[in-house]
Structure 1
Amino acid sequence: MALDITEILFPMRAAVAAAGERIRDDFANPADVRHKGRIDLVTATDLAVEALLKEQLADILPEATFLAEETASVADMSGLTWIIDPVDGTTNFAHGFPFVCTSVALYDGPTALAGCVYAPILGQFFWAGRGLGAYCHDERIHVSGTAEPIAALVATGFPYAIRENLDEITADLRTMLAETQGIRRPGSAALDLAYVACGRVDAFYEMALNPWDVAAGALLVTEAGGTISSYRPSRPYALGDFRILASNTRLHDAMLTLLGE
Protein backbone atom coordinates (compact mmCIF):
# COMPACT_ATOMS: atom_id res chain seq x y z
CA MET A 1 0.00 0.00 0.00
CA ALA A 2 1.42 3.37 -1.07
CA LEU A 3 2.26 5.91 1.59
CA ASP A 4 0.17 9.05 1.88
CA ILE A 5 2.92 11.66 2.18
CA THR A 6 0.49 14.29 3.45
CA GLU A 7 -0.29 12.07 6.44
CA ILE A 8 3.41 11.50 7.13
CA LEU A 9 4.36 15.18 6.92
CA PHE A 10 2.24 16.40 9.83
CA PRO A 11 3.79 14.19 12.57
CA MET A 12 7.19 14.46 10.88
CA ARG A 13 7.08 18.24 11.10
CA ALA A 14 6.03 18.00 14.74
CA ALA A 15 9.00 15.76 15.55
CA VAL A 16 11.42 18.13 13.82
CA ALA A 17 9.88 21.11 15.65
CA ALA A 18 10.44 19.35 18.98
CA ALA A 19 14.06 18.71 18.04
CA GLY A 20 14.47 22.39 17.21
CA GLU A 21 13.19 23.38 20.63
CA ARG A 22 15.91 21.26 22.24
CA ILE A 23 18.50 23.05 20.11
CA ARG A 24 17.03 26.41 21.10
CA ASP A 25 17.10 25.49 24.80
CA ASP A 26 20.76 24.42 24.62
CA PHE A 27 22.02 27.15 22.30
CA ALA A 28 23.25 29.56 24.96
CA ASN A 29 25.19 26.87 26.79
CA PRO A 30 26.29 23.91 24.61
CA ALA A 31 27.38 20.97 26.76
CA ASP A 32 30.01 18.25 26.33
CA VAL A 33 31.61 19.65 23.18
CA ARG A 34 34.01 16.99 21.91
CA HIS A 35 36.11 16.31 18.82
CA LYS A 36 35.28 13.33 16.61
CA GLY A 37 37.83 14.48 14.04
CA ARG A 38 40.55 17.11 13.71
CA ILE A 39 37.98 19.94 13.34
CA ASP A 40 34.73 17.93 13.48
CA LEU A 41 32.71 18.45 16.68
CA VAL A 42 29.89 16.64 18.44
CA THR A 43 27.92 17.87 21.44
CA ALA A 44 25.49 16.47 23.94
CA THR A 45 22.76 18.24 21.97
CA ASP A 46 23.61 16.32 18.77
CA LEU A 47 23.18 13.03 20.60
CA ALA A 48 20.04 14.06 22.50
CA VAL A 49 18.31 15.45 19.40
CA GLU A 50 19.13 12.36 17.36
CA ALA A 51 17.72 10.08 20.07
CA LEU A 52 14.56 12.19 20.32
CA LEU A 53 14.03 12.11 16.56
CA LYS A 54 14.60 8.38 16.26
CA GLU A 55 12.07 7.71 19.00
CA GLN A 56 9.38 9.95 17.52
CA LEU A 57 9.95 9.00 13.89
CA ALA A 58 9.84 5.29 14.75
CA ASP A 59 6.31 5.84 16.03
CA ILE A 60 5.31 7.31 12.65
CA LEU A 61 6.77 4.50 10.50
CA PRO A 62 7.90 1.51 12.59
CA GLU A 63 9.02 -0.31 9.44
CA ALA A 64 11.52 2.38 8.38
CA THR A 65 15.23 2.13 9.14
CA PHE A 66 17.55 5.00 10.08
CA LEU A 67 20.61 6.64 8.60
CA ALA A 68 21.60 9.20 11.22
CA GLU A 69 24.84 11.14 11.56
CA GLU A 70 25.82 10.16 15.09
CA THR A 71 24.58 6.55 15.01
CA ALA A 72 24.71 5.62 11.32
CA SER A 73 23.44 2.07 11.18
CA VAL A 74 22.45 1.24 7.60
CA ALA A 75 24.39 1.29 4.35
CA ASP A 76 21.78 -0.24 2.04
CA MET A 77 18.83 2.14 1.68
CA SER A 78 16.68 -0.40 -0.14
CA GLY A 79 13.42 0.51 1.61
CA LEU A 80 11.95 3.27 3.72
CA THR A 81 14.72 5.16 5.51
CA TRP A 82 14.74 8.18 7.78
CA ILE A 83 17.89 10.24 7.12
CA ILE A 84 18.76 12.49 10.06
CA ASP A 85 21.25 15.25 10.73
CA PRO A 86 20.33 16.25 14.29
CA VAL A 87 22.42 19.44 14.35
CA ASP A 88 23.69 20.53 10.95
CA GLY A 89 26.21 23.22 11.76
CA THR A 90 27.55 21.77 15.01
CA THR A 91 30.62 24.02 14.84
CA ASN A 92 28.31 27.02 14.49
CA PHE A 93 26.26 25.75 17.43
CA ALA A 94 29.34 25.34 19.62
CA HIS A 95 30.39 28.93 18.85
CA GLY A 96 26.96 30.54 19.24
CA PHE A 97 26.67 31.28 15.51
CA PRO A 98 22.97 30.99 14.64
CA PHE A 99 23.15 29.14 11.30
CA VAL A 100 22.17 25.80 12.83
CA CYS A 101 19.41 23.44 11.76
CA THR A 102 17.91 20.00 12.06
CA SER A 103 17.52 18.10 8.80
CA VAL A 104 15.24 15.08 8.42
CA ALA A 105 14.23 13.29 5.21
CA LEU A 106 12.23 10.20 4.39
CA TYR A 107 13.46 8.16 1.43
CA ASP A 108 12.15 5.04 -0.25
CA GLY A 109 15.30 3.55 -1.69
CA PRO A 110 16.88 6.37 -3.73
CA THR A 111 13.64 8.36 -3.94
CA ALA A 112 13.03 11.32 -1.62
CA LEU A 113 9.49 11.39 -0.26
CA ALA A 114 9.56 14.16 2.36
CA GLY A 115 12.04 16.53 3.95
CA CYS A 116 12.24 19.13 6.72
CA VAL A 117 14.97 21.65 7.53
CA TYR A 118 14.37 23.65 10.70
CA ALA A 119 16.65 26.48 11.82
CA PRO A 120 15.23 27.22 15.29
CA ILE A 121 17.53 30.11 16.23
CA LEU A 122 16.61 31.88 12.99
CA GLY A 123 12.95 30.87 13.28
CA GLN A 124 12.83 29.31 9.80
CA PHE A 125 11.07 26.01 9.08
CA PHE A 126 11.35 24.58 5.55
CA TRP A 127 9.57 21.45 4.38
CA ALA A 128 8.63 19.63 1.19
CA GLY A 129 6.78 16.56 0.02
CA ARG A 130 7.37 14.77 -3.24
CA GLY A 131 5.00 16.27 -5.77
CA LEU A 132 3.59 18.68 -3.17
CA GLY A 133 5.97 21.63 -3.53
CA ALA A 134 8.32 23.26 -1.03
CA TYR A 135 7.39 25.64 1.79
CA CYS A 136 8.79 27.94 4.44
CA HIS A 137 6.33 27.58 7.30
CA ASP A 138 3.07 27.55 5.30
CA GLU A 139 4.16 29.76 2.41
CA ARG A 140 5.05 28.17 -0.93
CA ILE A 141 8.64 28.90 -1.96
CA HIS A 142 10.37 28.98 -5.34
CA VAL A 143 13.91 29.31 -6.59
CA SER A 144 15.15 32.63 -7.94
CA GLY A 145 15.00 33.78 -11.55
CA THR A 146 18.64 34.89 -11.78
CA ALA A 147 20.03 33.92 -15.18
CA GLU A 148 23.66 35.13 -15.20
CA PRO A 149 26.49 34.18 -12.82
CA ILE A 150 27.57 37.80 -12.43
CA ALA A 151 24.17 38.52 -10.84
CA ALA A 152 24.18 35.38 -8.70
CA LEU A 153 24.77 35.04 -4.98
CA VAL A 154 26.38 31.63 -4.47
CA ALA A 155 26.76 29.59 -1.28
CA THR A 156 29.47 27.04 -0.63
CA GLY A 157 31.03 25.11 2.21
CA PHE A 158 34.34 23.57 3.14
CA PRO A 159 34.77 19.90 4.13
CA TYR A 160 36.33 18.70 7.36
CA ALA A 161 39.02 17.10 5.18
CA ILE A 162 40.01 20.57 4.02
CA ARG A 163 43.77 19.92 3.96
CA GLU A 164 43.32 17.00 1.58
CA ASN A 165 41.16 19.07 -0.81
CA LEU A 166 42.63 22.53 -0.36
CA ASP A 167 43.88 23.02 -3.93
CA GLU A 168 40.49 22.20 -5.48
CA ILE A 169 38.61 24.29 -2.92
CA THR A 170 40.74 27.38 -3.44
CA ALA A 171 40.72 27.04 -7.24
CA ASP A 172 36.92 26.88 -7.30
CA LEU A 173 36.64 29.74 -4.84
CA ARG A 174 38.94 31.91 -6.93
CA THR A 175 36.75 31.31 -9.99
CA MET A 176 33.48 31.95 -8.18
CA LEU A 177 34.73 35.13 -6.52
CA ALA A 178 35.71 36.52 -9.91
CA GLU A 179 32.64 35.45 -11.89
CA THR A 180 29.66 35.84 -9.51
CA GLN A 181 28.12 38.64 -7.48
CA GLY A 182 29.32 37.12 -4.23
CA ILE A 183 30.04 34.01 -2.16
CA ARG A 184 28.55 33.09 1.21
CA ARG A 185 29.65 30.31 3.57
CA PRO A 186 27.13 30.00 6.47
CA GLY A 187 28.38 26.56 7.53
CA SER A 188 25.24 24.43 7.15
CA ALA A 189 24.70 22.60 3.85
CA ALA A 190 21.07 21.79 4.67
CA LEU A 191 20.34 25.47 5.22
CA ASP A 192 22.29 26.45 2.09
CA LEU A 193 20.04 24.16 0.06
CA ALA A 194 16.93 25.57 1.74
CA TYR A 195 18.12 29.04 0.78
CA VAL A 196 18.51 27.97 -2.85
CA ALA A 197 14.94 26.65 -2.66
CA CYS A 198 13.53 29.95 -1.42
CA GLY A 199 15.66 32.17 -3.67
CA ARG A 200 17.88 33.73 -1.01
CA VAL A 201 20.90 32.35 -2.83
CA ASP A 202 20.93 31.37 -6.49
CA ALA A 203 23.27 28.37 -6.36
CA PHE A 204 25.23 26.19 -3.96
CA TYR A 205 28.17 23.85 -4.47
CA GLU A 206 30.27 21.75 -2.10
CA MET A 207 32.28 18.56 -1.89
CA ALA A 208 32.58 15.66 0.55
CA LEU A 209 29.11 15.93 2.06
CA ASN A 210 27.31 13.01 3.67
CA PRO A 211 23.78 11.84 2.79
CA TRP A 212 22.35 13.38 6.00
CA ASP A 213 23.78 16.79 5.06
CA VAL A 214 21.77 17.04 1.83
CA ALA A 215 18.89 14.52 1.88
CA ALA A 216 16.16 16.97 2.95
CA GLY A 217 17.61 20.05 1.27
CA ALA A 218 17.89 18.36 -2.11
CA LEU A 219 14.14 17.67 -2.10
CA LEU A 220 13.44 21.28 -1.11
CA VAL A 221 15.40 22.49 -4.14
CA THR A 222 13.76 20.23 -6.69
CA GLU A 223 10.26 20.82 -5.32
CA ALA A 224 10.92 24.57 -5.52
CA GLY A 225 11.81 24.34 -9.21
CA GLY A 226 15.59 24.01 -8.91
CA THR A 227 18.12 21.51 -10.23
CA ILE A 228 20.55 19.24 -8.41
CA SER A 229 23.48 17.44 -10.00
CA SER A 230 26.99 16.26 -9.38
CA TYR A 231 29.84 18.17 -11.00
CA ARG A 232 33.23 17.01 -12.20
CA PRO A 233 31.72 14.83 -13.64
CA SER A 234 28.27 16.24 -14.35
CA ARG A 235 25.54 13.65 -13.79
CA PRO A 236 22.27 13.27 -11.87
CA TYR A 237 23.00 13.58 -8.16
CA ALA A 238 22.75 10.50 -5.94
CA LEU A 239 23.19 10.52 -2.16
CA GLY A 240 26.82 9.86 -1.39
CA ASP A 241 28.25 11.53 -4.52
CA PHE A 242 31.44 13.44 -3.74
CA ARG A 243 30.32 16.79 -5.23
CA ILE A 244 26.93 18.50 -5.32
CA LEU A 245 25.69 21.51 -7.27
CA ALA A 246 22.23 22.99 -6.66
CA SER A 247 20.87 25.94 -8.58
CA ASN A 248 17.74 27.74 -9.68
CA THR A 249 17.96 25.70 -12.96
CA ARG A 250 18.53 28.77 -15.17
CA LEU A 251 22.10 29.04 -13.87
CA HIS A 252 22.95 25.36 -13.86
CA ASP A 253 24.85 25.02 -17.14
CA ALA A 254 26.81 28.20 -16.51
CA MET A 255 27.73 27.02 -13.01
CA LEU A 256 28.89 23.68 -14.37
CA THR A 257 31.10 25.54 -16.83
CA LEU A 258 32.61 27.67 -14.05
CA LEU A 259 33.28 24.52 -12.05
CA GLY A 260 35.31 23.11 -14.90
CA GLU A 261 32.99 20.72 -16.70
Structure 2
Amino acid sequence: MEDSITEYEHKLLESAKVAAQEAGVILKEGYYSSRRVDFERKGVSDFVTFYDRAAEKCIIKRIRGLFPEIAFMGEESGSTAGNMSDYTVIIDPIDGTNNFIHGVPHFSVSIAVTKGSEILLGLVYQPLLNEMLWAARGSGAYINEKRLRLQSARPLSEMIVSTCLPYHGKGDCLTSLNHLKKLMPIVAGIRSPGSAALEIAYTSIERFDAFWSQGAELDFWDIAAGILIAREAGCKVTDLNGDPSPSQWKSLLSAHPERHEELLSYLG
Protein backbone atom coordinates (compact mmCIF):
# COMPACT_ATOMS: atom_id res chain seq x y z
CA MET A 1 0.00 0.00 0.00
CA GLU A 2 1.23 3.48 -0.85
CA ASP A 3 2.34 5.42 2.20
CA SER A 4 -0.20 8.26 2.31
CA ILE A 5 -1.53 7.75 5.82
CA THR A 6 0.26 8.16 9.11
CA GLU A 7 1.68 5.29 11.13
CA TYR A 8 -1.11 5.84 13.67
CA GLU A 9 -3.75 5.55 10.94
CA HIS A 10 -2.11 2.47 9.47
CA LYS A 11 -2.21 0.75 12.88
CA LEU A 12 -5.84 1.79 13.25
CA LEU A 13 -6.64 0.28 9.85
CA GLU A 14 -4.95 -3.00 10.72
CA SER A 15 -6.80 -3.11 14.04
CA ALA A 16 -10.11 -2.55 12.23
CA LYS A 17 -9.34 -5.40 9.82
CA VAL A 18 -8.68 -7.79 12.69
CA ALA A 19 -11.83 -6.59 14.45
CA ALA A 20 -13.92 -7.21 11.32
CA GLN A 21 -12.54 -10.73 10.97
CA GLU A 22 -13.25 -11.48 14.64
CA ALA A 23 -16.79 -10.16 14.21
CA GLY A 24 -17.07 -12.32 11.10
CA VAL A 25 -16.40 -15.43 13.18
CA ILE A 26 -19.37 -14.52 15.38
CA LEU A 27 -21.59 -13.97 12.34
CA LYS A 28 -20.59 -17.23 10.70
CA GLU A 29 -21.43 -19.07 13.91
CA GLY A 30 -24.88 -17.51 13.89
CA TYR A 31 -25.44 -17.98 10.18
CA TYR A 32 -24.53 -21.67 10.20
CA SER A 33 -26.47 -22.40 13.39
CA SER A 34 -29.12 -25.06 12.84
CA ARG A 35 -31.81 -23.01 14.58
CA ARG A 36 -33.66 -19.92 13.40
CA VAL A 37 -31.98 -16.67 14.44
CA ASP A 38 -34.02 -14.80 17.07
CA PHE A 39 -34.43 -11.06 16.70
CA GLU A 40 -35.98 -7.98 18.27
CA ARG A 41 -37.78 -5.12 16.55
CA LYS A 42 -36.18 -1.70 16.85
CA GLY A 43 -38.87 -0.20 14.66
CA VAL A 44 -40.88 -0.88 11.53
CA SER A 45 -38.86 -3.28 9.35
CA ASP A 46 -35.85 -2.64 11.60
CA PHE A 47 -34.49 -5.73 13.33
CA VAL A 48 -31.58 -6.51 15.64
CA THR A 49 -30.16 -9.86 16.73
CA PHE A 50 -27.83 -11.11 19.44
CA TYR A 51 -25.20 -11.36 16.72
CA ASP A 52 -25.47 -7.67 15.74
CA ARG A 53 -24.78 -6.68 19.33
CA ALA A 54 -22.08 -9.28 19.93
CA ALA A 55 -20.24 -8.35 16.72
CA GLU A 56 -20.35 -4.64 17.53
CA LYS A 57 -19.07 -5.22 21.08
CA CYS A 58 -16.26 -7.35 19.66
CA ILE A 59 -15.23 -4.62 17.22
CA ILE A 60 -15.28 -1.88 19.86
CA LYS A 61 -13.34 -4.00 22.36
CA ARG A 62 -10.62 -4.82 19.82
CA ILE A 63 -10.12 -1.24 18.63
CA ARG A 64 -10.58 0.45 21.99
CA GLY A 65 -7.99 -1.86 23.53
CA LEU A 66 -5.33 -0.25 21.32
CA PHE A 67 -6.90 3.19 20.84
CA PRO A 68 -8.72 4.14 24.06
CA GLU A 69 -8.92 7.79 23.02
CA ILE A 70 -11.05 7.18 19.89
CA ALA A 71 -14.77 7.94 19.56
CA PHE A 72 -17.25 5.37 18.25
CA MET A 73 -20.54 5.56 16.42
CA GLY A 74 -22.22 2.16 16.24
CA GLU A 75 -25.60 1.23 14.80
CA GLU A 76 -26.48 -0.69 17.96
CA SER A 77 -24.58 1.12 20.73
CA GLY A 78 -24.92 4.69 19.50
CA SER A 79 -22.22 7.35 19.93
CA THR A 80 -19.37 7.27 22.44
CA ALA A 81 -17.24 10.37 22.77
CA GLY A 82 -13.49 10.12 22.38
CA ASN A 83 -10.79 11.67 24.52
CA MET A 84 -8.64 14.25 22.72
CA SER A 85 -9.06 12.58 19.32
CA ASP A 86 -10.46 13.76 15.98
CA TYR A 87 -11.05 10.16 14.88
CA THR A 88 -14.40 8.37 15.00
CA VAL A 89 -14.95 4.69 14.20
CA ILE A 90 -18.26 4.14 12.37
CA ILE A 91 -19.61 0.58 12.75
CA ASP A 92 -22.37 -1.42 11.13
CA PRO A 93 -21.83 -4.89 12.62
CA ILE A 94 -24.26 -6.60 10.21
CA ASP A 95 -25.18 -4.64 7.13
CA GLY A 96 -27.98 -6.85 5.85
CA THR A 97 -29.51 -8.05 9.12
CA ASN A 98 -32.75 -9.00 7.37
CA ASN A 99 -30.79 -11.27 5.01
CA PHE A 100 -28.88 -12.72 7.98
CA ILE A 101 -32.11 -13.54 9.82
CA HIS A 102 -33.54 -15.29 6.77
CA GLY A 103 -30.39 -17.25 5.93
CA VAL A 104 -29.62 -15.27 2.77
CA PRO A 105 -25.81 -15.35 2.31
CA HIS A 106 -25.43 -11.65 1.52
CA PHE A 107 -24.42 -9.47 4.47
CA SER A 108 -21.29 -7.74 5.68
CA VAL A 109 -19.36 -6.09 8.48
CA SER A 110 -18.77 -2.42 7.70
CA ILE A 111 -16.24 -0.23 9.52
CA ALA A 112 -15.20 3.29 8.56
CA VAL A 113 -13.00 5.83 10.31
CA THR A 114 -13.56 9.54 9.97
CA LYS A 115 -11.22 12.34 10.90
CA GLY A 116 -13.36 15.39 11.41
CA SER A 117 -15.78 15.30 8.47
CA GLU A 118 -13.45 13.32 6.19
CA ILE A 119 -13.82 9.57 5.61
CA LEU A 120 -10.25 8.39 6.10
CA LEU A 121 -10.44 4.58 6.29
CA GLY A 122 -13.04 2.06 5.23
CA LEU A 123 -13.51 -1.68 5.06
CA VAL A 124 -16.37 -3.99 4.19
CA TYR A 125 -15.95 -7.66 5.09
CA GLN A 126 -18.04 -10.53 3.72
CA PRO A 127 -17.30 -13.31 6.23
CA LEU A 128 -18.88 -16.16 4.26
CA LEU A 129 -16.55 -15.45 1.31
CA ASN A 130 -13.65 -14.23 3.47
CA GLU A 131 -13.45 -11.17 1.21
CA MET A 132 -12.35 -7.86 2.63
CA LEU A 133 -12.70 -4.75 0.52
CA TRP A 134 -10.80 -1.86 2.08
CA ALA A 135 -9.26 1.51 1.40
CA ALA A 136 -7.31 4.33 2.97
CA ARG A 137 -7.79 7.83 1.63
CA GLY A 138 -5.17 8.54 -1.04
CA SER A 139 -3.81 4.97 -0.95
CA GLY A 140 -6.16 3.13 -3.31
CA ALA A 141 -8.67 0.34 -2.76
CA TYR A 142 -8.03 -3.37 -2.31
CA ILE A 143 -9.76 -6.71 -2.12
CA ASN A 144 -7.76 -8.65 0.45
CA GLU A 145 -4.25 -7.69 -0.75
CA LYS A 146 -5.03 -7.09 -4.44
CA ARG A 147 -5.08 -3.49 -5.65
CA LEU A 148 -8.28 -2.50 -7.44
CA ARG A 149 -8.44 -0.40 -10.60
CA LEU A 150 -11.47 0.17 -12.78
CA GLN A 151 -11.50 -1.19 -16.30
CA SER A 152 -13.13 0.61 -19.22
CA ALA A 153 -16.78 1.44 -18.69
CA ARG A 154 -19.50 -0.77 -20.10
CA PRO A 155 -22.30 0.85 -22.10
CA LEU A 156 -25.57 1.24 -20.21
CA SER A 157 -27.10 -1.61 -22.20
CA GLU A 158 -24.55 -4.02 -20.68
CA MET A 159 -24.57 -2.71 -17.13
CA ILE A 160 -25.91 -4.46 -14.03
CA VAL A 161 -26.78 -1.88 -11.41
CA SER A 162 -27.73 -2.29 -7.78
CA THR A 163 -30.02 -0.39 -5.48
CA CYS A 164 -31.64 -0.53 -2.06
CA LEU A 165 -35.40 -0.56 -2.44
CA PRO A 166 -37.73 0.79 0.27
CA TYR A 167 -40.13 -1.62 1.89
CA HIS A 168 -42.74 -1.90 4.64
CA GLY A 169 -42.73 1.41 6.48
CA LYS A 170 -39.28 2.54 5.37
CA GLY A 171 -38.56 4.95 2.56
CA ASP A 172 -40.14 6.57 -0.47
CA CYS A 173 -41.57 3.83 -2.67
CA LEU A 174 -42.78 6.22 -5.39
CA THR A 175 -39.29 7.68 -5.93
CA SER A 176 -37.77 4.21 -6.27
CA LEU A 177 -40.50 3.09 -8.65
CA ASN A 178 -39.88 6.14 -10.84
CA HIS A 179 -36.16 5.35 -10.94
CA LEU A 180 -36.85 1.73 -11.84
CA LYS A 181 -39.22 2.82 -14.59
CA LYS A 182 -36.47 4.97 -16.12
CA LEU A 183 -33.61 2.47 -15.80
CA MET A 184 -35.29 -0.87 -16.54
CA PRO A 185 -35.53 -0.27 -20.32
CA ILE A 186 -31.89 0.81 -20.72
CA VAL A 187 -29.72 -1.47 -18.52
CA ALA A 188 -28.96 -5.19 -18.58
CA GLY A 189 -30.14 -5.86 -15.05
CA ILE A 190 -31.13 -4.33 -11.72
CA ARG A 191 -30.44 -6.04 -8.39
CA SER A 192 -31.43 -5.27 -4.79
CA PRO A 193 -29.54 -7.84 -2.69
CA GLY A 194 -29.91 -6.07 0.66
CA SER A 195 -26.49 -4.93 1.96
CA ALA A 196 -25.80 -1.37 0.83
CA ALA A 197 -22.26 -1.33 2.26
CA LEU A 198 -21.36 -4.43 0.28
CA GLU A 199 -23.04 -3.30 -2.92
CA ILE A 200 -21.41 0.14 -2.93
CA ALA A 201 -18.06 -1.57 -2.32
CA TYR A 202 -18.83 -4.02 -5.14
CA THR A 203 -18.77 -1.12 -7.63
CA SER A 204 -15.03 -1.00 -6.92
CA ILE A 205 -14.60 -4.52 -8.34
CA GLU A 206 -17.34 -4.06 -10.97
CA ARG A 207 -19.55 -6.85 -9.72
CA PHE A 208 -22.06 -4.05 -10.04
CA ASP A 209 -21.44 -1.34 -12.60
CA ALA A 210 -23.26 1.19 -10.43
CA PHE A 211 -25.19 1.56 -7.20
CA TRP A 212 -27.85 4.16 -6.53
CA SER A 213 -30.27 4.92 -3.75
CA GLN A 214 -32.76 7.63 -2.94
CA GLY A 215 -36.08 6.12 -1.97
CA ALA A 216 -34.61 3.82 0.70
CA GLU A 217 -33.49 5.14 4.08
CA LEU A 218 -29.74 4.68 4.50
CA ASP A 219 -27.74 5.78 7.53
CA PHE A 220 -24.12 6.94 7.48
CA TRP A 221 -22.89 3.62 8.88
CA ASP A 222 -24.51 1.89 5.89
CA ILE A 223 -22.54 3.84 3.31
CA ALA A 224 -19.39 5.48 4.75
CA ALA A 225 -16.92 2.63 4.18
CA GLY A 226 -18.35 1.78 0.76
CA ILE A 227 -18.08 5.39 -0.41
CA LEU A 228 -14.34 5.52 0.33
CA ILE A 229 -13.63 2.09 -1.20
CA ALA A 230 -15.50 2.95 -4.40
CA ARG A 231 -13.77 6.32 -4.73
CA GLU A 232 -10.30 4.93 -4.12
CA ALA A 233 -10.88 2.34 -6.87
CA GLY A 234 -11.78 5.14 -9.29
CA CYS A 235 -15.57 5.39 -9.07
CA LYS A 236 -17.32 8.72 -8.87
CA VAL A 237 -19.62 8.96 -5.84
CA THR A 238 -22.07 11.81 -5.32
CA ASP A 239 -25.63 12.35 -4.24
CA LEU A 240 -28.26 12.53 -6.98
CA ASN A 241 -27.76 16.30 -7.20
CA GLY A 242 -24.14 15.66 -8.17
CA ASP A 243 -22.75 16.90 -4.83
CA PRO A 244 -19.68 14.86 -3.75
CA SER A 245 -19.85 16.02 -0.13
CA PRO A 246 -23.42 16.82 0.93
CA SER A 247 -24.02 17.76 4.54
CA GLN A 248 -26.36 14.76 4.71
CA TRP A 249 -26.48 11.82 2.33
CA LYS A 250 -30.15 11.70 1.31
CA SER A 251 -29.28 9.95 -1.95
CA LEU A 252 -26.25 8.31 -3.54
CA LEU A 253 -24.82 7.21 -6.89
CA SER A 254 -21.55 5.29 -7.28
CA ALA A 255 -20.52 4.61 -10.86
CA HIS A 256 -17.66 4.58 -13.33
CA PRO A 257 -16.76 8.22 -14.02
CA GLU A 258 -17.51 7.69 -17.72
CA ARG A 259 -21.11 6.69 -16.89
CA HIS A 260 -21.84 8.76 -13.81
CA GLU A 261 -23.29 11.83 -15.55
CA GLU A 262 -25.27 9.67 -17.95
CA LEU A 263 -26.90 7.82 -15.06
CA LEU A 264 -27.55 11.05 -13.21
CA SER A 265 -29.52 12.29 -16.22
CA TYR A 266 -31.98 9.45 -15.59
CA LEU A 267 -31.95 9.59 -11.79
CA GLY A 268 -31.51 13.24 -10.93
TM-score (norm 1): 0.92
Partner of 1:44: 50
Structure-2 change in CA distance of 1:239 and 1:32 (3 Å): farther
Per-residue deviation, residues 76-95 of structure 1 (Å, max 9, x unmatched):
9x921000000000000000
- Which residue of structure 2 aligns with residue 67 of structure 1? 73
1:194 aligns with 2:201: yes
- Displacement, 1:75? 9.7
The alignment status of 1:165 with 2:169, answered yes or no, reads no
In 2 relative to 1, CA 73–8 (structure 1 residues): closer, same or farther, beyond 3 Å? Answer: closer
Distance 1:134 1:65 in 2: 24
Identity %: 33
1-structure distance, mates of 2:221, 2:88 = 11
1:128 to 2:135 alignment: yes
Q: Tell whether the 8 Å contact from 1:16 to 1:53 is kept in structure 2 after alignment.
A: yes
Q: Return closer, same or farther for 1:257/1:119 CA change in 2, 3 Å cut-off.
A: same
Per-residue deviation, 1:249: 1.3
Confirm or deny: 8 A CA contact 1:125 1:137 kept in the other structure. yes
Q: Match for 1:244: what amino acid?
A: L
Q: Which residue of 1 aligns with 2:18?
A: 14
Distance 1:179 1:219, change over 3 A: same
Task: Give, as a single letter, the amino acid of the residue that structure 2 aligns with 1:257.
Answer: S
Moved over 6 A (4+): none
Structure 1: distance between partners of 2:247 and 2:146: 27
**1:167-206 deviation digits (Å, cap 9, x = unpaired):** 1111101111111111011100011011101111111001
Which range moves more in the overlay, 12-21 or 32-41? 32-41
Q: How many residues of Structure 1 are paired with residues of Structure 2 in the alignment?
A: 257
> Equivalents in 1 of 2:232, 2:116: separation in Å?
18
Deviates most, 188-197 or 67-76: 67-76
Residue identity in the other structure for 1:54: I
Shift, 1:129, TM fit: 1.0
1:235 maps to what in 2?
243
| Structure 1: runs of 5+ lacking an equivalent | none
1:211 aligns with 220
What amino acid is aligned across from residue 252 of structure 1 in structure 2?
Answer: H
CA RMSD after TM alignment: 2.1
Matched, 1:139 2:146: yes
Worse-superposed segment, 166-175 or 25-34: 25-34
Contact 2:119 / 2:224 at 8 angstroms: preserved in 1?
Answer: yes
* Structure 2 alignment gaps of length 5 or more: none
8 Å contact kept, 2:44–2:169: no
Q: Which one of 51, 66, 88 corresponds to residue 81 of structure 1? A: 88
